[in-house]
């Protein structure tokens, strides 16, 4: 008997940002696999097996999940945010592409979640109101030359840019290089939002300009939003402000 493999998005942190469908997929599973911080967010019920692993072991985790499901298990692989955004869903399909028979008869599903970019945008206003793109700054799976090219072209195309994985202990300096490249194309007054640990107790949201963004500190729990030329602050009569991008190119 073959089983089921659901790749589940747990959202950026808070329980009430987990969809009911994602919660059901977790509750239903015999096995829960994932990167330790995500697995540790969950409380096992009787009979559930938790297998936490390192974030560099995504392909091995995907293969293991397929094996467990092939033996009839109901398996949930959990990701933070959305599982299709720089996360486990693509790793599972890579494993299937490498070994198509490993997926035979398995009911494979993806349960979407709130990705960090959307949670960060919601906190600050509506910066993604016009066209935008998302780029991961991690060079584990692509070259830094590719990242530089995408940053430059995204800025030239005037997208709002969501930067995932902006920094880690191994590469604290790359975000500064990214800002330098963007500054070659975009004006110094372009708005930049640092959204750290969105939805957590230590959440912190800062709005700065591209010219000063290099002075800010960011870590692997930060999502950075770079405005387009149209992204601006809007201020209410009583002095509160938000960051937004108008829907229309002409506004
Ligand atoms: N699948 C995840 C992204 C994984 S990549 C998603 O859809 O959100 C990991 C990156 O996501 C982090 O380096 C950070 O840039 C961002 N991120 C994840 N959770 C976050 C949170 N709560 N607050 C801010 N950024 C977050």
DSSP letter string, 224-236 = EEE--TT-EEEE-
In the CATH scheme, what is the code of domain 117-244?
3.30.950.10
Ligand 1 interacting residues, C-beta cut-off 6 A: 12-13, 79-82, 85-87, 115-116, 120, 164-166, 195, 197-199, 220-223
Q: For every one of its 251 residues, what pLDDT tens digit does the chain have, with 9 covering 90 and above?
A: 679 999 999 999 999 999 999 999 999 999 999 999 999 989 988 899 999 988 879 999 999 999 999 999 999 999 999 999 999 999 999 999 999 999 999 999 999 999 999 999 999 999 999 999 999 999 889 999 999 999 999 999 999 999 999 987 777 788 999 999 999 999 999 999 999 999 999 999 999 999 999 888 889 999 999 999 999 999 999 999 999 999 998 88
Other CB atoms within a 10 A radius of the CB of residue 56 amount to: 9
Check residue 66 and report its DSSP letter. Answer: H
Q: Which residue has the tokens 């995932």?
A: 164
208: tokens are 């700065």
Q: Which of 13, 78, 80, 89 to mutate to test the pocket of ligand 1 (most atoms within 8 A of CB)?
A: 80
Check residue 43 and report its DSSP letter. Answer: -
CATH class of 4-114: alpha beta
For the chain, which residues make up each domain, given as ranges?
4-114, 117-244
Q: Which residue has the tokens 């997208």?
A: 159
Map residue 163 onto helix, strand or coil.
strand
Regarding pTM above 0.75, the answer is yes
Q: Residue 180 C-alpha to ligand 1 middle, in angstroms?
A: 23
């Amino acid at each position: 008997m073959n089983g089921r493999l659901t790749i589940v998005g747990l959202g950026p942190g808070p329980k009430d940002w987990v969809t009911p469908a994602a919660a059901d997929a977790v509750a239903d599973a015999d096995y829960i696999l994932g990167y330790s911080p995500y697995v540790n967010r969950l409380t096992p019920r009787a009979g559930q097996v938790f297998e936490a692993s390192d974030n560099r072991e995504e392909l091995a985790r995907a293969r293991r999940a397929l094996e467990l499901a092939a033996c009839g298990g109901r398996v949930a692989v959990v990701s933070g945010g959305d599982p299709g955004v720089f996360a486990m869903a693509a790793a599972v399909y890579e494993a299937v592409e490498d070994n198509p028979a490993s997926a035979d008869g398995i009911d494979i599903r993806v349960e979407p979640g709130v990705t960090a970019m959307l949670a960060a945008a919601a906190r600050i206003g509506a910066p993604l109101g016009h066209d935008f793109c998302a780029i991961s700054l991690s060079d584990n799976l692509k070259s830094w030359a590719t990242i530089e090219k995408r940053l430059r072209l995204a800025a030239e195309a005037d997208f709002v840019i969501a930067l995932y994985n902006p920094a880690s202990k191994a590469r604290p300096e790359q975000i500064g290089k990214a800002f330098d490249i963007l500054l070659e194309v975009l004006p110094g007054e372009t708005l930049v939002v640092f959204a750290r640990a969105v939805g957590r107790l230590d959440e912190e949201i800062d709005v700065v300009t591209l010219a000063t963004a290099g002075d800010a500190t960011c870590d692997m729990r930060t999502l950075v939003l770079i405005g387009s030329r149209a992204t601006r602050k809007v201020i209410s009569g009583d002095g509160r402000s938000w960051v937004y991008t108008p829907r229309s190119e002409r506004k």
